[in-house]
Structure 1
Amino acid sequence: MFTPIMYIIFSCTLSGIILYIAYIIADTLYRKSKYSLIHYLVYYFMYLKNLLNGDSIYLIIFLIISMCIYITLSYKKSKNIISLIENVDKMANGNINNIIDLNASGNIKKLANNINNIVTQLRNITIEERKAQQTKTDLITNVSHDLRTPLTSIIGYLSIIEDDKYKDEVKLRYYTSIAYEKSKMLNVLINDLFDLTKMQNNTMTLNLTQIDLVELLGQIASQFEYMFENENVKCRLNFSQDKLIIKADPIKLVRAFENLITNAIKYGKDGNYIDIVTKRKDNVAIVKIINYGESIPTIDLPYIFDRLYRVEKSRNRNDGGSGLGLAITKNIIEMHDGNIYVSSDYDCTVFEVRLNLNDI
């Protein structure tokens, strides 16, 4: 705001000094010089002075010199303002990758930096929106495929029944059974999809209460005894001697650990063992679900908790899962301000859950 005023004051002061020095030099040279050129210039100046009604010529020269000095001082700033306008025009026309780079300081530099920051944020938002749109498209594509597969089977077998094309009651029951199982698969997928959407939209509430995590895991493991036996898997419990008291929604937490144990059985049963380990570290409860089956490829590990992401070896949908179990588990854990990690090598695959303790 005060910069132009300072420029004017400086220009006028410097102009006055220049005029004064020029007057002294001209007077000295006129008195001492024998050259006709100096005398001619002085004579011409006096002629202009008389022509312009006396001393007004000094004012004109003063204004001209002051203006030249002011323009010289303002040129760089004006150039930066013009460059700033041109760059902003480019951004306004959709070139959000454009960066304003000015050799300036002060408010103009600050303005340019602020515009660059705004454009960077806009560019990041645009990228995130594109990713979200791509994720939504992928989700719709995958869900449509997963819904269509069992639905096609249901319609096929029910059409056989509707057209009385079955041989006997045994075949009728067989077709009905298949349609029923496929319907349950649809129900699991739709319910999981709704639950995951509610979690990610923060519309699902938690009914928090104090629970003993070790006791909860013991109860969950006992409920899987039949499945362990059926899959020839032995579950080994290695629980901490400490009471791991946490504040959590037991129903939702049970679902998260059930998903992890089911996943361990499904993809780790070839290893014959599943370990459930708990321990305390500082004020954090750590739970590890370990299986010794085929490892998860390193390239797949970063995406293992994504919706409907499937490791290549597990793309077969005959397991009846929704493909959303691990995504739901991650959301449940994070709703409890916890974290979940996965690691896998040739020896074992480990899902590690960390939850904050709520010691009494």
Structure 2
Amino acid sequence: MKLRTYLLLSSLTGIGVLLICLFVSYSKMLLSIEQFYWLSGITAGVGLFSFILQYVMTRPLERSIARISEQTITIAEGDFDTEVPVIGPREFKLLAEQFNGMSLRLKESFDNLHHSESARRELIANVSHDLRTPLASIQAFVEALEDDVIKDEETFQRYLNTIRLETKRLAGLIHDLFELSSLEAKGELFEPQPCHADELLISTLESFSFHLAEKRLAVEIDLPDKLPAAMMVPAQIKRVLSNLLQNAIQYSPEEGKITLSAAEEGRCLRISVKDEGEGIEAAETTRIFERFYRIDKSRGKNNGGAGLGLAIAQSIVEHHGGEIGVLSTKGAGSCFWFTLPIYSN
């Protein structure tokens, strides 16, 4: 039974009971037959008018419910770009607003689900490719050694060195995947402590002294006389600095310059690593912190890492309650920066 039919039957039943009671009451009164007919006619007319009024007023309710039913079917078919008109009585307006809000949340949930599924497929494809490449190289060189086709000692040692490098590359990729997974699952013990970033910058820079000298890169350090301590896990922030500095060294030209700077910015400490490389296109900067995303789409073994370094850096910084980003202009170098909350007593 439709809601409108149910309401009309309920109204008709109530009116009928009321009319019967009135007619019985009229019959017990000391009324002339003419007065009885007049009162009965007026009562019947009022009852009929009430029924017609009830019939007309329930029409908008029926339409509102029909609209919600139609939109529900539309959503069930997978179309979330739909809204119910917010009209009718207050309760139906509230119902329409709640329905529209539910539809919007469902659309956002399904969009996120589709995005996550696409990201999952891309992640699996990238992991498979980056694992398969060193494994294929190792297999090829091992088979060549097993077949005893290498006779001279120099080539033999070169093959062994290649196997060692590919094994190290494979181990590094697996370590990065494990670290990223641990960070996203918040599985590591996180106990930040006040630490001075200038000491961390110097110690990180010293570990890259060989790579800097190899490309004859100059380093400029821009630090204020007094730098406040920041809340951090030193080993994790050193990993962030190492990733940023490694990228700066990789993309800097020979005899270029890298600038490390730190400054107080509001209630945060901002640390920057600037290089004089080729820079990044504006369209690339929005995706550069994604897992496995690389500006250079080629996948040769000499084209850098697996594209996990910046994703790991982002996870660490955000876990500390900071932000990370890049300022870059194509042909004018890049400046990677991140912030950390300042220690306050």
The residue identity in structure 1 corresponding to 2:63 is K
- Answer with 52-61 or 177-186: which moved more: 52-61
Q: Which residue of 2 is the match for residue 276 of structure 1?
A: 260
2-structure distance, mates of 1:125, 1:264: 38
Contact 1:273 1:292 in 2 (8 A): yes
Counterpart of 2:319 (choices 328, 331, 335) is 335
1-structure distance, mates of 2:297, 2:253: 14
Contact 1:235 1:273 in 2 (8 A): yes
Q: Which residue of 2 is the match for residue 358 of structure 1?
A: 343
1-structure distance, mates of 2:274, 2:38: 103
Q: CA RMSD in A?
A: 2.7
- Residue 290 (str. 1) matches residue 274 (str. 2): yes
- Answer with 54-63 or 328-337: which moved more: 54-63
1:157-168 superposed matches below 5 A? 157-168=141-152
Unaligned 5+ residue runs, structure 2? 1-6, 20-32
2-structure distance, mates of 1:67, 1:271: 93
The residue identity in structure 2 corresponding to 1:235 is V
The residue identity in structure 2 corresponding to 1:126 is F
Contact 1:142 1:308 in 2 (8 A): yes
Count of residues in Structure 1 that have an aligned counterpart in Structure 2: 318
Q: Which residue of 2 is the match for residue 185 of structure 1?
A: 169
The residue identity in structure 2 corresponding to 1:170 is E
Distance 1:93 1:286, change over 3 A: closer
Cα deviation, 1:93-138, whole Å, max 9, x if unaligned, reads 4433332124323001100110111111011000001001101111
Counterpart of 1:146 (choices 95, 112, 130) is 130
1-structure distance, mates of 2:84, 2:323: 41
Q: Shift in Å at residue 323 of structure 1?
A: 1.4
Q: Shift in Å at residue 68 of structure 1?
A: 0.9
1:237 aligns to what SS in structure 2? strand
Contact 1:259 1:325 in 2 (8 A): yes
Max radius of gyration: which structure? 1
1-structure distance, mates of 2:70, 2:304: 60
1-structure distance, mates of 2:162, 2:286: 36
Contact 2:231 2:340 in 1 (8 A): no
Contact 2:218 2:255 in 1 (8 A): no
Q: TM-score, normalised by structure 1?
A: 0.81
Q: TM-score, normalised by structure 2?
A: 0.85
Contact 1:207 1:249 in 2 (8 A): yes
Q: Which residue of 2 is the match for residue 91 of structure 1?
A: 75
2-structure distance, mates of 1:136, 1:343: 28
1-structure distance, mates of 2:74, 2:149: 69
Contact 2:216 2:255 in 1 (8 A): no
Cα deviation, 1:252-293, whole Å, max 9, x if unaligned, reads 111110000000000113461101011122322111101011
Counterpart of 1:263 (choices 247, 254, 262) is 247
Cα deviation, 1:163-213, whole Å, max 9, x if unaligned, reads 211113322221111011001111111110111122122223323222111
2-structure distance, mates of 1:303, 1:188: 23
Distance 1:60 1:292, change over 3 A: same
Counterpart of 1:202 (choices 186, 203, 213) is 186
2:259 aligns to what SS in structure 1? strand
Q: Which residue of 2 is the match for residue 230 of structure 1?
A: 214
